[in-house]
Amino acid sequence: MKGEMDFDPVAAQLTFNTMNAAANGYGYLFPEGSDSGNETEASPKIWEDKAGFDAAVAKFIADTKDIKITDMDSFKSAFGAATKNCGACHEAYRIKKE
């Protein structure tokens, strides 16, 4: 998207396949009782608003599922939607460490 390399639709498609595979397991990384211990950037809001967090994960799964990349425009559109969801989730459910 930055123009630093030639667009490769296969690599772009693999990006979404990888994002979706990760998204499908993401909710399992925060089981009940894992809200304390260890240094983490996970906000307590994950467990306080579990329904909201689960909905954000479900949206990320949907945003990366069955995406068909054919050209740069389709990649930009799909990538923008998926990363917008990432940012919203990080804002709500992550504590940024300095």
| pLDDT tens digits, 38-75 | 778 889 999 999 999 999 999 999 999 999 999 999 99
Quick check: is 30 in a domain? no
Quick check: is 55 in a domain? yes
- State the Cα–Cα distance between residues 80 and 65, nearest whole angstrom: 14
Quick check: is 34 in a domain? no
Strand partners, 42: 94
Quick check: is 88 in a domain? yes
Q: How many CB atoms lie within 10 A of CB 19?
A: 21
Backbone angles phi, psi at 37, to 5 degrees: 90, 160
Query: What integer pLDDT is reported at residue 1 of this predicted model?
Result: 67
- Output 78 or 4, whichever has higher pLDDT: 78
What total of structural domains would you count in the chain?
1
pLDDT per residue as tens digits for the range 78-90:
999 888 888 888 8
Q: What is the mean pLDDT of residues 14-32?
A: 91
| Domain range for 76 | 9-25+41-93
Residue 68 is encoded by which pair of tokens? 């068909």
Quick check: is 1 in a domain? no
Query: What integer pLDDT is reported at residue 97 of this predicted model?
Result: 77
Cβ 68 vs Cβ 74: under 8 Å: yes
Q: Is the pLDDT of residue 37 over 80?
A: no
- Output 53 or 1, whichever has higher pLDDT: 53
Quickly tell me which residue has 């054919």 as its tokens. Answer: 70
